[in-house]
Structure 1
Amino acid sequence: MSETRDWFARHGGEIVEWRRDIHAHPELAFQERRTAGFVAERLRTWGLEVHEGIAETGVIGVLRGAEGTQAPAIGLRADMDALPIEEATEIAYRSKHSGVMHACGHDGHTALLLGAARRIVDLTRTRGPFPGDIVFIFQPAEENEGGGRRMVEQGLFDRFPVRQVFALHNMPDLEIGRFITRAGAMLAGFDTFDVRVEAEGGHAAFPAVGGDAVVAAAALVMGFQTIVPRQTPASAAALLAVTMIAGGSAHNVLPDVVTLGGSLRWFERPVIEEIRCRMQAHCRGVETAYGVKVILDYQERYPALVNDVASTDLAARAARRAVGEDRVATDIAPIMGSEDFAFMLERTPGAYLGFGNGPGTGGCLLHNPRYDFNDAALETGVAFWTALVETFFEDMQTA
């Protein structure tokens, strides 16, 4: 850690500038063209092999290992996209794009992986190349749009095969210098649904004529809320949330259409399949009971994120090497948030970790219009990525 600290004392200011520049120019899913260009330009400057346009705006930087080596490669991934939120901070580098901001810290993830690439290149110039390749993955569209899935489908690991792949996410309200992870399921699967309730509509004075889409929709909301606590085993961790409902335009008119939607979180595939069946049954029941038509559009989004046991052990050892033995927790409870890094872990063994971002400028809520990544966490991230690469290749040589 002391070597990284000395290196960061010389180069940390530049990494902070990168982070703030990316924060000021946020881009939504699959629109990260400026960010991708920013990343690619720097990777080329340091001599990495650069590949652009994977999943539209994804960037891959490859630092080749010793010439002719057949040693396994390691993959390091950062996400680049922002969110459709109007920034409410007063910081000097606040978003220049109305209605778009980095409210999840992906600006920090991108900057610290760039910093790690620079740090690792500098190491190879003094120590010589690592035995195998290091693949730096800058992914678009993590927020809702499944850029990780798109990268895998477009041959990410066929073109750039790696033995293991890893990702980090900042954790607000976790002390800077701390890491958390767990073997097995760490983050929940994520699905969404939309429901359209159709009736004839008509005068509010005559609700018996033509059905009442509002009451039917209300019955669906209440019915859906009973599925997890009353129709799913208590031992099965899952959530079903109705987050949207819309319909009607006048006090004395029964609308002909009411829509609602929401999301589900889950860890076990049989559990979510049973919940989906229960939702369909509730829809059929409401159709019969209220004389309306109910159309359920169910979308499978992200699978549960499952960390490989051996990869989790490797990542934890690297984190301890970077920040100390007592600052790494490997026994955390599963988290109901979701991540499309899960698609990469379905294809290749690896692990996902959270790292402390402190209280942050915007408090402890991600996706908050006042959220800002804490620049003090950048050094910790660079130290971890560096220690991970060193530990990975040391393990390969002693296996």
Structure 2
Amino acid sequence: MRENDGIAAIVPEVIGWRQTIHANPELGFAEHETAAFVAAKLTEFGLTVHTNVSATAVVGTLIKGTSGKAIALRAELDALPIKEVADVAYASREDGVMHACGHDGHTAMLLGAAKLLAESESFDGRVVFFFQPAEEVLGGGKKMIEDGLLKRFPVEQVFAVHNWPDFPEGHIGVRAGPQMAAVDDFEIVFRGSGCHAAMPHLGDDPLLAAASFVTAIQRLVSRSIDPLSPAVLSVTQIHGGRFNNFVPGEVKVEGTCRFYDRALSDHCAAEIERVAKATAAMHGASAELTYKRGYPPVVNPASGAALAAQAGADTVGAERVATEFQPSMGCEDFAFLLQGVGDGAYVWIGAGDVGPGAGLHGDRFVFNDAIVPIGIRFFLNVVQRALPVGGK
């Protein structure tokens, strides 16, 4: 679907939907107005709409022909707890909440594809549209599966797109194998005896223990993991103390681990605990670890990645489709859906160069509306490739 397919005619309307969603952002599992907007549009297009699936999720189904094959297309509903700084006419009306990742654009593009697919006879089978809550941090995709999504709406493949700043504008990236990393979070509480800052010999110093841990734990990546297996450990928060003349009795350290090999989750948990306890003991303190296993890696099966690459070539031309590039250490809860279904792909659509603070999760982030027709066309081409008329 490259020419005269109705996409150009609906792009202004789709951008309008995006701006409406952007101006009214909602956090994970609270996307009530966004979900109602999506459900109303899908109903208007003639799809069968389900809102009793999981939390604020919306599912639309569309059947054409008789093949019985089914695929799913997914977009996200939630925004982020970020105060918007971007100077746009449709800026967030909710103080401290912002669509800073492009979920408004992904949802609008998928709605556009649903509208055009409902009006066409270009495929043979069933397309299920997953509009999921709480992609950010809270694992809405995992909850949908736990609530029976894939049993109620079984599909053979699932696909999703994400705008990708600093990837060439209008290019498509999809690779077989890992495209996004797994993520685990950790929290360590160092405890000792508080004491007056002028009399440190009368207590243990958990703050010093925490500081030693921050430097020591970097050996996890540099000395305990195969250098050919990518991994990142970042300490992101340290909290302790209230007065400048008193050594606190408790200090909390938090951070995150990223990797593509899921087996590293157990290794990181064990190594962090070992180093934390040893460091604490060296300073006469104690350490208690809480290790939270988060999203698994997004790993595209070869078959799903190949179909997505073909659909990408149909959309922007083969010369603008990348299948070999560095994956990201960012994470995505689409991993749960991809893992649950067993086939499909996660795809980047390049948004081009952006400035400081304008990348994903930046307070100056602005979705590049130039990629709206590309996203819509890609979804249509995925459906035609996966569910061809005549079954070819």
TMscore range, shorter length: over 0.9
Partners in 1 of 2:64 and 2:7 — Cα distance? Answer: 24
Q: Deviations over 1:77-115 (max 9, x none)?
A: 001110000000121100000000000000000000000
Question: Identity over the aligned pairs, expressed in percent?
Answer: 43
Partners in 1 of 2:67 and 2:86 — Cα distance? Answer: 49
- The answer on 1:356 being equivalent to 2:350 is yes
Which amino acid in structure 2 is aligned with residue 78 of structure 1?
A
Which amino acid in structure 2 is aligned with residue 19 of structure 1?
R
Partners in 2 of 1:306 and 1:25 — Cα distance? Answer: 32
Q: 2:102 aligns to what?
A: 105
Which amino acid in structure 2 is aligned with residue 280 of structure 1?
E
Change (3 A) 1:193 1:395: farther
Change (3 A) 1:148 1:317: same
Which amino acid in structure 2 is aligned with residue 298 of structure 1?
Y
**Superposition RMSD in Å:** 1.6
Partners in 1 of 2:51 and 2:390 — Cα distance? Answer: 29
SS of the residue 1:263 aligns to: strand
How far is 1:70 from its partner? 4.8
SS of the residue 2:384 aligns to: helix
Q: Deviations over 1:42-86 (max 9, x none)?
A: 1001110000142200100000233xx352101000011100000
How far is 1:396 from its partner? 8.0
- Are the equivalent residues in 2 in contact too, given 1:228–1:275 (CA < 8 A)? no
- Are the equivalent residues in 2 in contact too, given 1:188–1:338 (CA < 8 A)? yes
Q: 2:294 aligns to what?
A: 301
Q: How many residues align?
A: 391
Partners in 2 of 1:217 and 1:25 — Cα distance? Answer: 41
- Are the equivalent residues in 2 in contact too, given 1:361–1:372 (CA < 8 A)? no
- Are the equivalent residues in 2 in contact too, given 1:232–1:275 (CA < 8 A)? no
Partners in 2 of 1:9 and 1:311 — Cα distance? Answer: 27
Partners in 2 of 1:297 and 1:280 — Cα distance? Answer: 9
Which amino acid in structure 2 is aligned with residue 340 of structure 1?
D
- Are the equivalent residues in 1 in contact too, given 2:178–2:260 (CA < 8 A)? yes
Partners in 2 of 1:225 and 1:389 — Cα distance? Answer: 45
How far is 1:3 from its partner? 2.9
Partners in 1 of 2:292 and 2:22 — Cα distance? Answer: 31
How far is 1:249 from its partner? 1.5
Q: 1:387 aligns to what?
A: 381
How far is 1:231 from its partner? 2.0
Partners in 2 of 1:139 and 1:65 — Cα distance? Answer: 24
- Which residues in structure 2 correspond to 1:197-216 (within 5 Å)? 197-216=190-209
Q: 1:238 aligns to what?
A: 231
Q: 1:7 aligns to what?
A: 6
SS of the residue 2:268 aligns to: helix
SS of the residue 1:339 aligns to: coil
Q: Deviations over 1:249-269 (max 9, x none)?
A: 222100111111011101112
Which amino acid in structure 2 is aligned with residue 161 of structure 1?
P
Q: 1:23 aligns to what?
A: 22
- Are the equivalent residues in 2 in contact too, given 1:173–1:364 (CA < 8 A)? no
Mean alpha-carbon deviation: is it higher for 206-215 or for 162-171?
A: 206-215
- Which residues in structure 2 correspond to 1:154-169 (within 5 Å)? 154-169=147-162
- The answer on 1:96 being equivalent to 2:96 is no
Partners in 2 of 1:382 and 1:107 — Cα distance? Answer: 14
Q: Deviations over 1:177-203 (max 9, x none)?
A: 210011011111001011111112011
Q: Deviations over 1:354-385 (max 9, x none)?
A: 00122358765110001011111100000100
Runs of 5+ consecutive residues of structure 1 not aligned to the other structure: none
Partners in 2 of 1:215 and 1:65 — Cα distance? Answer: 66
Partners in 2 of 1:329 and 1:70 — Cα distance? Answer: 31
Change (3 A) 1:55 1:44: same
How far is 1:223 from its partner? 1.4
Change (3 A) 1:362 1:206: closer
Runs of 5+ consecutive residues of structure 2 not aligned to the other structure: none
SS of the residue 1:64 aligns to: strand
- Are the equivalent residues in 1 in contact too, given 2:71–2:128 (CA < 8 A)? yes
Partners in 2 of 1:235 and 1:142 — Cα distance? Answer: 30
Which amino acid in structure 1 is aligned with residue 348 of structure 2?
G
Pick from 87, 111, 114 the counterpart of residue 117 of structure 1: 114
Change (3 A) 1:335 1:106: same
Which amino acid in structure 1 is aligned with residue 117 of structure 2?
I
Partners in 1 of 2:171 and 2:358 — Cα distance? Answer: 15
Q: 1:173 aligns to what?
A: 166
Q: 1:194 aligns to what?
A: 187
Which amino acid in structure 2 is aligned with residue 276 of structure 1?
A
Partners in 2 of 1:392 and 1:140 — Cα distance? Answer: 26
